[in-house]
Amino acid sequence: MKLLIKNGRVIHPVTSTVLLQDILAEDGRISLLEHGLTVQADQTIDASGLAVAPGLVDMHVHFRDPGLTYKEDVLTGCAAAARGGVTSVACMANTSPAVDKPEQVKYVLERAKLANGVGVYPVAALSKGLQGEEPTDAEALRRAGAIALSDDGNTVDNANLMRDALILANRLDMPILCHCEDTSMVAGRAVNEGSVSRQLWLEGRPAIAEEIMVMRDAMLAEETGSKVHICHVTTARSVDIIRKMKKKGVPITCETCPHYFTLTEDEVLRQGALARVNPPLRTKADVHGIIAGLKDGTIDAIASDHAPHSVEEKSRPLARAPSGMIGLETSLAITLTQLYHTKKLDLPGVIRRMSTNPADILHISRGRMSLSAVADLVIFDPDEAWTIDPERFASKARNTPFAGWKVKGRVKYTIAKGRVIHRDEA
């Protein structure tokens, strides 16, 4: 199978360049990458006026499979990914049962074979049942196909357990992805501690709860020499801590999400439970701090933290509704709107944080724009305006606070291993 993409503005995130080039994909890999190709192909796409980039690598999604498939499953999650230009996803372990045994890892991988070709990479639980008490068998999980360990959704409060896990994971060359909030300071609380929590007469989740755990895990990384990745950073002070630790040479990386550089805690007053997310939306000063961290490279990656819930669940009162919002189908558009069109990041900078860097952190061979690389590609119009309509999503869920938003940047084609898996019909 030969796929030829002509006349595209090809984004090279590693070299920070955008070049007018054609791409030939053969047997799932990029075989030619130059201007003016005249070869014959089974399918040709004219990408004139469009950007062509490595397929996005979303390193933080929740597909709810096994056990919670009324919210989402691997097949619908992969369909949503394709619509958002995402060709690889790392699925978190907080399913039912949790992905804490090799057979659960194998189940996710088997389900992925039935999907549309999006690469699905299971993240296994760090502790049994995500309880933070007993370690899982990391070696067996890795052999089964898990690429990383995380209790995401829960914090590993036990510092000794985390330290031991980091030492073992370093030996296995297996990243640990850390949810950072001190459980004793946030349990059962719905929103950021601040003006909104006071207006709603609710106990809040203080920023310091995140920052304490970011510092702890950074110090453990420093002490053990093991790599640690901080999930969904939300506060300016967390960014400062990570920045300082990176300057010291600590092997630490981190991610944030579009909602954390776009929305503030005030969104809760407007949209209630739709704006409840874990960790919570923070203040305007924190949004500025997140953007600063993205601009200077302190924040390595942008992930969606795609967290589907049913309409009934998100219709509950704020204090009883589950945390989370979906984002696979909107993350690129919101990032382009908020960062590229405001000149905070250029296109290679956006793609580096949404493709190449996440792939590097997870040690997967995707998200590359080079000869012989896997032909995972996204073709998009960075300037096309459209309105977010959850009713048109491929996801089972509709829980987004961005419904009705006008954004700029639309995915036209998503290609996985040289095969078109999504084409925009709008």
Q: What is the pLDDT of residues 393-419, one digit of tens each?
A: 999 999 999 999 999 999 999 999 999
Q: Is 36 left (phi over 0), alpha (psi -120 to 50) or beta?
A: left
Q: Quick one: angle between helices 284-295 and 236-247, nearest 10?
A: 30
| Interatomic CA distance for residues 381 and 385, integer angstroms | 9
Q: What's the confidence (pLDDT) of residue 119? A: 98
Q: List, in order, residues 6 or more apart from 343 with CB less than 8 Å away.
A: none
Beta strands in 162-238 (DSSP E): 177-178, 191-192, 204-205, 228-230
Identify whether 389 is a catalytic site residue: no
First to last CA, the chain: 27
Q: List, in order, residues 6 or more apart from 337 with CB less than 8 Å away.
A: 407, 408, 409
The pTM score is 0.97
Parts of the chain with a pLDDT under 70: 426
Go through the domains of the chain in sequence order and give each one's CATH number: 55-362 (3.20.20.140)
Q: What's the confidence (pLDDT) of residue 426? A: 67
Question: Of the listed 305, 376, 381, 424, which one is catalytic?
Answer: 305
Q: List, in order, residues 6 or more apart from 403 with CB less than 8 Å away.
A: 388, 389, 390
Q: What's the confidence (pLDDT) of residue 425? A: 82
Q: What's the confidence (pLDDT) of residue 124? A: 98
Q: What's the confidence (pLDDT) of residue 368? A: 94
Q: What's the confidence (pLDDT) of residue 257? A: 98
Both tokens of 198, joined, read 């006071």
Distances (CA, A) of 3 to 7, 17, 30, 420: 13, 23, 9, 9
